Chain A
């Protein structure tokens, strides 16, 4: 039996499969591994960031700082490696420490000052963007033998598609994120907070530690996404990735996670990313459509999904009432 809480995920999966099948009928080339490989690379940084966003939304919060943190990271890495001559690994480690600390600080403010996440992370968004401008307002190209090695590393699928380092990183993040959410105490606490913070507290969930952990995770993954983005574009630019947090939220919601928190799966977000990638790919194949159609279709999908989730909640509540009547 499908658990009613997994129903949104199953629906998303079904929609993705059907949509992909329809696309493939129209453009059989979309089945090629090359297309799939590109779809993964193009969305790797977004996928990594969306995993962090899934944790945040599962806990009933929101993180608006993601896009800015990605931009900050890319500028930071570009400048420290390109201008200051730091080894990329050192730069990566530094920027991950910074972004994680940044996320933790936001989590601490949310918990201890009782400020809504929306407000705290909105401030974080401006702060990180401003910090990126401070470092450089130019687009800073970056090149380093070590980065070339990473960029040149990939597995070749039969059919010519490539699974690049960044795609592998994204997939690894999804797998680890999925395990953390489903199989650790921290993960269970995240769901608990999203379900009902008061009850969670009375059940002994360490609310402060968990909240800080959630935003730290999101900060860390934003940093990681920033690194992936830097590798993807081979540059750092403080004006880049504006609004990426909204794409991440869209992927999370389309993936079946309730915006109110407490219900959803990391795997759902993966499908959400794939659906977005599929739409982009379709537009490329069609050739006549403007790329803005991506936004329009995602907008429509979001509406559909939110309505669908409402419907499912309504339906399962009804079923629960009936089940109760039958004395279960």
Chain B
């Protein structure tokens, strides 16, 4: 007997891929006018469930009822016609089309049977205005940043969803302000009676917007609960199946183990006009330098300069006292630098290569392609990182495209860690990674630093910065405006520094 309150009801859904069970007898129900968080570790089966509900995968067994009717969408188009709009975890849009074409692909407004481009532009502008976005909708999507693309994907899905909206890690590349805009849109849609499924690894966001949660673990349903009166610790242990040690770590770096000694890598008066004002940065071995700031404050730009993606037009870079010229990423790699960019989700993966090959890629590139890494060494390397980063399933020979999104990301991180760089630059290293693995990765980073690697971490999660950084540089308006170190590295101080852009060098 189905509950008339439920807009979507899935019963006993099962799915396996080539004998590997991804979902086992999972029930899921979504009410009208609720935001329902779907949670679980990387590889728990969240995206698979979504893809079954929206017609990307066919289910092995089970039933889906939408509005009381049995449905079986055979592809995404059919799901859209049924009123289910989805933002998938993967890249969702087409870079070779314009923003407007992306927004209205498959449902272009027509006049006399032909696409009405003017109407399409007008509606696109209106649509994006709801998200506070005023951009040229005739420009190619590829000209916009990941964050803007994400908003465009969300706007498209919301516009498509008459009954159900599904968002698979939509906030992964949004900053706090954009997340807030998204949430206010979601609350409004919820008031209109839409059912919303939200997948995220940010528990704060779950508590901020969700009404109910459903937790999956290893492809099985752990349970569905109202968020009210569900303690965070209990939720986490539902997800992990165990207690998490030190979720909220204290700021360990300040407890006296700050690396001292001579800085080996210096950037003096380093900058590029129109991109980032000249800054000084000295990094000691084993030191973790955090970079904080709002989106567009110059965080990624700093990384681009440090890694030679952009060329500096002022200042010098020295390593071990001798000046180096960072004219290209290759030059940076030759100097022992590594960079794990924010867009790794779309760019970094070579889907048909195995996990081991993907991990060995950067190392191979550094050695030169003429000297292939022996496969035994590659397997050993992969095995080490699969263990230390807990990549699941732990099969180095599986094509990486068959891994869940979060596990792919761990593999990309492993790729750079494998090169054993002396300076590693990480842009948003733990986005899309579950809370258990998150702790593992932070632990791993700490271990590498005690072995002498220096690290620059760009992150919009202040807790992450305070957990690992010895020093935090705060950016605003493309300037390094403040530097916090030691005991001053607290989330509060960083917030204050970001909010008070005119303050000069603090601490």
Q: List A residues at the B interface (Cβ < 8 Å).
A: 3-5, 179, 182-185, 188-189, 191-192, 194-196, 198-207, 262-263, 320-321, 323-328
Contacts and interface: CB of A to CB of B under 8 A. Distances in A.
A323 B140 CA distance: 12
B77 A205 contact: yes
Nearest 3 pairs between A and B by C-beta?
A: A195-B96, A262-B96, A195-B94
B92 A204 contact: no
A184 B92 CA distance: 21
B399 to A, nearest CB: 14
Contacts of B75: 201, 204, 206-207
A202 B77 contact: no
Interface in B46-102: 56, 75-77, 79-80, 86, 88, 90-97, 101-102
Contacts of A192: 94, 97, 105
A209 to B, nearest CB: 9
Given A204-B105, A324-B145, 12 more contacts: A5-B140, A183-B114, A183-B115, A185-B106, A188-B108, A194-B96, A196-B96, A199-B94, A202-B90, A204-B75, A205-B77, A205-B105
B140 A3 contact: yes
B339 interface: no
11 contacts: A183-B117, A185-B115, A188-B101, A191-B96, A199-B94, A203-B76, A203-B102, A203-B105, A203-B106, A262-B96, A324-B145
Contacts of A321: 304, 309-310
Nearest to A320: B143
Contacts of B80: 204
A202 B88 contact: yes
Contact of B140 (A4, A184, A189, A326): A4
Contact of B94 (A3, A196, A206, A323): A196
Contact of A201 (B76, B140, B142): B76
Contacts of A263: 96
Nearest to A258: B96
A323 B115 contact: no
Given A184-B114, A195-B95, A328 B90 contact: no
Contacts of B143: 320, 323-324, 328
B321 interface: no
Interface string B116-155: 0100000000000000000100101011110000000000
B486 to A, nearest CB: 32
A203 B149 CA distance: 14
Contacts of B76: 201-204
A191 B96 CA distance: 8
Nearest to A203: B105
Given A185-B106, A189-B106, A328 B95 contact: no
B88 to A, nearest CB: 5
B275 interface: yes
A88 B174 CA distance: 64
A57 to B, nearest CB: 13
B309 A188 contact: no
Interface residues of B, number: 41
Interface in B209-257: none
Most chain-B Cβ atoms within 10 A of its Cβ — which of A185, A204, A206, A262? A204
B310 A325 contact: yes
Contacts of B93: 199, 203
B74 to A, nearest CB: 10
Given A183-B114, A206-B75, A200 B56 contact: no
Nearest to A198: B90
Given A189-B106, A326-B274, A200 B142 contact: no
Most chain-A Cβ atoms within 10 A of its Cβ — which of B75, B117, B138? B75
Contacts of A201: 56, 75-76
B81 to A, nearest CB: 9
B145 A202 contact: no
Contacts of B144: 324, 328
Nearest to A319: B143
A206 B140 contact: no
A187 B289 CA distance: 50
A322 to B, nearest CB: 8
Contacts of B77: 204-206
A328 B95 CA distance: 16
B174 to A, nearest CB: 15
Most chain-A Cβ atoms within 10 A of its Cβ — which of B76, B138, B310? B76
Contacts of B175: none
Most chain-A Cβ atoms within 10 A of its Cβ — which of B79, B97, B115, B144? B97
A10 to B, nearest CB: 16
Nearest to B148: A328
B301 interface: yes
B85 to A, nearest CB: 9
B393 interface: no
Contacts of B94: 191-192, 195-196, 199-200, 203, 262
A206 B91 CA distance: 18
A205 B106 contact: yes
Nearest to A209: B77
B372 interface: no
Contacts of B300: 325
A5 B114 CA distance: 22
A202 B145 CA distance: 20
A320 B139 CA distance: 11
B296 A191 contact: no
Contacts of A198: 90-91
A184 B115 contact: yes
Most chain-B Cβ atoms within 10 A of its Cβ — which of A179, A184, A203? A203
B105 A202 contact: no
Nearest to B135: A328
A5 B56 CA distance: 31
Contacts of A262: 94, 96
Interface in B262-281: 274-275
Nearest to B93: A199
Most chain-A Cβ atoms within 10 A of its Cβ — which of B106, B138, B274? B106
B479 to A, nearest CB: 13
Given A199-B92, A201-B56, A326-B274, A179 B145 contact: no
A272 to B, nearest CB: 20
A219 B77 CA distance: 26
Nearest to B94: A195
A325 B274 contact: yes
B310 A204 contact: no
A184 B77 CA distance: 17
B119 to A, nearest CB: 12
A192 B138 CA distance: 16
